[in-house]
Amino acid sequence: MNKKLYTVIIFSENTVGLLNQITIIFTRRQLNIETLSVSPSAIKGIHKFTITTWAEKDMMNKVVKQIDKRVDILKAYYNTDEDLVHQEIALYKLSTDLFVKMKGVEDLIRKYNARVLEMNEDCIVLEKSGHYAETQALFEELSHSIGVLQFIRSGRVAITKSKVERLSDMLTEMEKKANG
């Protein structure tokens, strides 16, 4: 078993029920979705899914082909971390009281490159973006010092290093082919 973390990137038409169509392909192959992020892409009407999953390469190939085959999917492919710039965003809710009394707060914020998003009498909300390990490290450090009231981490967003995602070129190609 040679499992690796893969990032699957999918462009699709914005139609109802697509997420379901995608996730059932993972389910059938018994792959857990580690993170998932869906949002409109740079092109109007086209959605982008970013999904991470632990899998073997051969399995990843098969799954991506099965996703790509769905009628409303424009393109699906996968990458490993080396090919990607990727980030997750994490929010940490802390007690204001404890936070202001805590030693080295500023150093901590600087060290992790975090930001204060909200500050009121009761709570403080920090934000940090980064790789999983980085957002996790801040979480652990805060947990051990003043405790974290609430914690949430987003799914991964990613962009390939090597080539521009020429989705608009690809679309023009597709439409040309379809009409020609």
Partner 1 sequence: MDNTKEKITGSEALLRTLIAEGVDTIFGYPGGQVIPLYDCLYDYSDRLRHILVRHEQGATHAAQGYARVSGKVGVALVTSGPGATNTITGIADALMDSTPMVVITGQVPSALLGSDAFQEVDVIGIAQPITKWAFQIRKPEEIVWAISRAFYIASTGRPGPVVIDFAKDAQVGTVEYEYKKVNNIRSYQPIPVIDPESIAAAAELINNAAKPFALVGQGVILGGAEKELFAFLEKADIPAASTVLGLSAMPTDYRLNKGMLGMHGNVAPNRKTNECDVLIAIGMRFDDRVTGNLEYYARQAKIIHFDIDLSEIGKNVPTDIPVLGDAKETLPAVTALLRPSVHTEWIASFASDEQEEYEKVINKEIHPSADRPLQMGEVVDKIAKASGTDAVLVTDVGQNQMMGVRYFQYGRTRSVVTSGGLGTMGYGLPAAIGAKIGAPERTVCLFTGDGGLQMTIQELGTIMQEKLNLKIIVLNNHYLGMVRQWQELFFDKRYSATTMENPDFTAIGEAYRIQSRTVGNREELDEAIAEMFAGEDAYMLVADVETHGMVYPMVPAGAAITNIIMGEESHE
Provide, rounded to whole angstroms, the least separation between the CB of residue 38 and partner 1.
16
Provide, rounded to whole angstroms, the least separation between the CB of residue 18 and partner 1.
10
Instruction: Indicate the residue among 71 and 152 with the shorter CB distance to partner 1.
Output: 71
Provide, rounded to whole angstroms, the least separation between the CB of residue 7 and partner 1.
20
Instruction: Indicate the residue among 27 and 32 with the shorter CB distance to partner 1.
Output: 27
Instruction: Indicate the residue among 73 and 124 with the shorter CB distance to partner 1.
Output: 73
**Alpha carbon 162 to chain centroid, angstroms:** 19
The footprint of partner 1 (CB under 8 A) covers 12-13, 16-17, 20-21, 24, 28, 61-62, 65-66, 68-69, 71-74, 171, 174-175, 177-179
Provide, rounded to whole angstroms, the least separation between the CB of residue 164 and partner 1.
20
Whose CA is closest to 70, among 25, 8, 6? 25
Provide, rounded to whole angstroms, the least separation between the CB of residue 41 and partner 1.
13
Instruction: Indicate the residue among 45 and 163 with the shorter CB distance to partner 1.
Output: 45
Reading phi first (left if > 0) and then psi (alpha if -120 to 50, else beta), residue 41 is in: beta
Q: What is the number of H-type helices and E-type strands within the chain?
A: 6, 9
Instruction: Indicate the residue among 15 and 143 with the shorter CB distance to partner 1.
Output: 15
DSSP state of 101: H
Give Cβ neighbours of residue 51 (< 8 Å, ≥ 6 apart): 7, 8, 9, 10, 22, 26, 33, 35, 36, 37, 155
> Phi then psi for 79, rounded to 5 degrees?
-140, 160
